[in-house]
């Protein structure tokens, strides 16, 4: 009997197996044939293990980067990358993340059913990343066990329904109808960009009336984009370290020229991210369709909230402008952060990670264009670039030991949720934090019951 | 030429390509084509020979077009558009 209990207990506490179990339940609930159930369950577990392997690859490069940056510049340098930080977070917080993700999706369905936030968040990888972020900040805030899972799931469900609602007004402007919602956790950056666009864009023509060269499209290949930018970062950081007094060759892989070292480490990092992406893809392969199918049955009137490239075709030039200008904003933000550091504040230096600027910056460009044409796209994306540089700097202190990693969450909603929940947790720990999560979740439900709907729209 | 495998691609191969994949699967089922395999991945994984057809959004066209036939969707979420373009393509290939 003991050994059976032991096996059961290990199933529920081993994250990869637990995630497999979630997929298994989803597949059985959809009455899939047995071979599909077996295949899906295996691939989900496999994916989880692959994510861990990816973390193992990229952490070496990150450690070098952090140590050399610190040595050369005397401060912490951070490359924001969701995949990297999530793969590291899963080393310690995988069990909580898995439970929070599963029950968080259920919480999303409950909110869509019983409140006026009728959105189902279908961008599965962002659900996973948000689950990991929430698991970390709540654990740092003193929650554990069922309280952690309950509070985390409610908060995740709330973010999954609330952020798409915030973007919907501009989404209608972009897509021209109200049937699709936007589900990508950079929403605050996009809404910020749309707001700036509305302020400055009066009379500005749409970006789509400019003819643009398309040569930059090779950067859409994320592995290439990460490799190139990390190579530039490594060259600068290693080059500076080599020229700094006290440098010795043991700081980098022995016997390698520092340029070759930089090349290999940057590609190793990109390789790690590639592996993590492959793992995430495997993990989600069964979970997302199951979530989609179940939610369509329970809340057929909810709008699906979809990943950011859904808006790219509506404004292709804004996509390019958004990326370039947001990246520029990231560089300017980095400059400001180092000035603040020079003035005595202790902030990590956030380098412009190419992936967040590419995806989120591009989306910010589209949102800015929708409300304010060219001027809106440019200034909105610039504001977005500044925002996603400053937010991660303030997220680091509430991330516990992960705050000392040389990478962190990049997109605006992750960092904002982390900063808000993390700072509340600095004052209110344990059960109080659980209570706040429950209340926050219930507000939209109570609102829907207490405040009657306006008769005409 | 037979069409055995369709690959949907996007930047990270996580979100929108997955969505397109689910839509393609839905359309193929409707057309009664159960033998065609459909999957999704990142732009990095697009090479010659990995699939007979790529179904993508406009932003991926420059990356995918050197490696095989592409169906480019103006709206990656529109099932009617997908169905029109996909069945037209399959007809030219003699699959439909």
pLDDT digits (tens, 9 = 90+) for B9-45: 998 899 899 999 999 999 999 999 999 999 999 999 9
Residue B10 touches partner A, C-beta closer than 8 Å: yes
For testing the chain B interface, which of A221, A274, A283, A361 should be mutated: the one with the most B CBs within 10 Å?
A221
In whole angstroms, give the CA distance from residue A312 to residue A65: 33
Domain ranges of chain B: 5-92
In order of A13, A66, A83, B51, the CA distances from A402 in angstroms are 22, 13, 14, 40
pLDDT in tens, B53-63: 999 988 888 88
Q: Which two tokens stand for residue A17?
A: 């197996």
Considering only alpha carbons, which residue of chain B is nearest residue A308? B16
CA A269 to chain B, closest CA, distance in angstroms equals: 15
Helix (H, G, I), strand (E, B) or coil at A197: helix
Token pair listed for A42: 């295996």
Contacts of B16 in chain A (CB under 8 A): 306-310
Residue A212's pLDDT is what? 63
Which of A323, A303, A296, A277 lies closest to A124 in space, CA to CA? Answer: A277
Tens-level pLDDT at each residue, chain A (457 residues): 678 888 888 888 888 898 899 889 889 988 899 999 999 999 999 999 999 999 999 999 999 999 999 899 988 899 999 999 999 999 889 999 999 999 999 999 999 999 999 999 999 999 999 999 999 999 999 999 999 999 999 999 999 999 999 999 999 999 888 888 999 999 999 999 999 999 998 888 887 777 666 666 677 788 998 999 999 999 999 999 999 988 888 888 777 899 999 999 999 999 999 999 999 999 999 889 889 989 999 999 999 999 988 888 888 788 889 999 999 999 999 999 999 988 888 888 999 988 899 899 999 999 999 999 999 999 999 999 999 999 999 999 898 888 888 899 999 999 999 999 999 998 988 899 999 999 999 999 999 988 877 644 4
Residue A456 has a pLDDT of: 42
Q: Say what the pTM is.
A: 0.90
Contacts of A359 in chain B (CB under 8 A): 11-12
Taking the Cβ of residue A393 and every Cβ of chain B, the question of whether any pair is shorter than 8 Å is answered with no
Measured between alpha carbons, how far is residue A91 from residues A16, A54, A60, A95, A384 in Å? 11, 11, 15, 9, 31
Contact A124 B60 (CB under 8 A): no
| Interface touch B59/A184, C-beta < 8 Å | no
Select from B15, B19, B54 the residue whose CB has the most chain A CBs within 10 Å, as the one to mutate to test that interface: B15
- Using an 8 Å CB-CB cutoff, list chain B residues near A184: 15
Do A102 and A22 form a contact (C-beta atoms < 8 A)?
yes
Q: Determine contact: B14 vs chain A, CB below 8 A.
A: yes
Helix (H) or strand (E) holding A182: strand A181-182
Q: Which residue of B has its CA nearest to A310?
A: B76
Touching check for A354 and chain B: CB below 8 Å?
no
Q: What is the DSSP string of A106-133?
A: HHHHHHHHHSS--EEE--HHHHHHHHHH
* Angle, helix A124-140 to helix A145-175, in steps of 10 degrees: 140
Cβ distance B58 to A306 less than 8 Å, yes or no, reads no
The neighbour count for residue A143, using CB atoms within 10 Å, is: 25
- The answer to whether the Cβ–Cβ distance between B42 and A277 falls below 8 Å is yes
Q: Is the pLDDT of residue B80 over 70?
A: yes
- According to the CATH classification, is domain B5-92 in 3.90.1150.10? no
B82 inside 8 A of chain A by CB: no
Least Cα distance to B63 among B24, B7, B5 occurs for: B7
A45 CB near a chain B CB, below 8 Å?
Answer: no
**pLDDT in the model for residue A105:** 96
A123 interfacial to chain B (CB closer than 8 Å): yes
CB contact (8 A) between residue B77 and residue A123 = no
Contact B22 A310 (CB under 8 A): no
Rounded Cα distance between A227 and A264, Å, is 10
A431-450 vs A412-427: helix crossing angle, rounded to 10? 120
| Number of helices followed by number of strands (H, E) in chain B | 3, 4
CA–CA gap between residue A158 and residue A279 (Å, rounded):
26
CA distance A382 to A193: 8
CB contact under 8 Å between A281 and B60, yes or no, is no
Beta bridge partners of B56: B9, B72
A447 at B interface, C-beta within 8 A: no
Contacts of A217 in chain B (CB under 8 A): 59, 62-63
The answer to whether B11 contacts A124, with C-beta atoms less than 8 Å apart, is no
Q: Are A120 and A452 in contact (CB under 8 A)?
A: no
- pLDDT, position A454: 66
CA distance A82 to chain B (A): 12
DSSP tag of A453? P
Structure tokens at A142: 């003193």
**Chain A: residue nearest B23 by CA?**
A289
Nearest Cα to B64, choosing from B78, B77, B80, B52?
Answer: B52
Q: With a CB-CB cutoff of 8 Å, which residues 276-335 of chain A face chain B?
A: 277, 280-281, 284, 288-289, 292, 306-310, 312-313, 316, 319
């Amino acid at each position: 009997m003991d050994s059976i209990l032991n096996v059961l207990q290990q199933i529920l506490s081993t994250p990869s197996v637990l995630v497999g179990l979630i997929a298994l339940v989803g597949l059985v609930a959809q009455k899939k044939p047995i071979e599909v159930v077996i295949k899906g369950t295996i691939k989900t577990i496999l994916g989880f293990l692959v994510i861990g392997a990816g973390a193992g690859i990229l952490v070496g490069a990150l450690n070098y980067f952090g140590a050399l940056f610190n040595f050369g510049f005397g401060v912490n340098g951070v490359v924001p990358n969701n995949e990297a930080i999530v793969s590291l977070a899963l080393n310690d917080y995988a069990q909580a993340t898995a439970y929070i993700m599963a029950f968080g999706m259920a919480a999303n369905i409950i909110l869509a059913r019983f409140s006026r936030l009728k959105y189902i968040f279908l961008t599965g990888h962002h659900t996973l990343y948000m689950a990991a972020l929430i698991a970390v900040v709540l654990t740092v805030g003193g929650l554990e066990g069922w309280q952690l899972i309950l509070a985390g799931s409610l908060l995740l469900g709330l973010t999954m329904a609330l952020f798409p609602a915030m973007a919907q007004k501009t989404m209608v402007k972009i897509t021209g109808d109200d049937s699709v919602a936007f589900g990508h956790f950079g929403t605050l950056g996009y809404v910020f960009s749309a707001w700036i666009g509305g302020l400055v864009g009066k009379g500005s023509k749409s970006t789509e009336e400019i003819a643009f060269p398309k040569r930059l499209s090779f950067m859409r290949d994320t592995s290439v984009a990460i490799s190139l930018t990390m190579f530039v970062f490594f060259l600068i950081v290693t080059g500076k370290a080599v020229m700094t007094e006290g440098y010795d060759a043991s700081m980098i892989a022995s016997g390698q020229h520092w340029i070759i070292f930089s090349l290999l480490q940057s590609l190793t990092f990109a390789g790690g991210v590639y592996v993590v992406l492959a793992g995430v893809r495997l993990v989600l392969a069964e979970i997302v369709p199951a979530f989609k199918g179940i939610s369509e049955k329970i809340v057929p009137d909810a709008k699906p909230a979809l990943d950011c490239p859904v808006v790219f075709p509506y404004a292709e030039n804004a996509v390019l402008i958004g990326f370039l200008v947001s990246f520029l904003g990231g560089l300017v933000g980095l400059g400001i952060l180092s000035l603040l550091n020079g003035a005595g504040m202790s902030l990590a230096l956030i380098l412009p990670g190419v992936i967040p600027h590419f995806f989120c910056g591009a989306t910010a460009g589209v949102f800015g264009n929708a409300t304010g044409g060219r001027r809106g796209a440019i200034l909105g994306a610039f504001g977005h670039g500044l925002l996603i540089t400053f937010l991660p700097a303030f997220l680091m202190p509430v991330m516990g030991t992960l705050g000392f990693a040389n990478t962190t969450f990049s997109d605006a909603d992750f960092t904002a949720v982390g900063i808000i929940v993390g700072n509340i947790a600095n004052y209110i720990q344990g059960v109080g934090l659980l209570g706040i999560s429950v209340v926050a979740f219930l507000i939209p439900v109570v609102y829907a019951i207490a405040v009657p709907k306006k008769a005409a729209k | 030429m037979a069409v055995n495998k369709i690959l949907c691609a996007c930047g990270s191969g996580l979100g929108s390509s997955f969505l397109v994949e689910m839509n393609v699967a839905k359309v193929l089922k409707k057309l009664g084509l159960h033998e065609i395999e459909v999957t999704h991945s990142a732009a990095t994984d697009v090479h010659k020979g990995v699939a007979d057809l790529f179904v993508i959004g406009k932003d991926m066209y420059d990356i995918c077009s050197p490696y095989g036939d592409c169906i480019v969707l103006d709206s990656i979420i529109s099932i009617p558009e997908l169905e029109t373009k996909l069945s037209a393509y399959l007809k030219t290939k003699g699959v439909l």
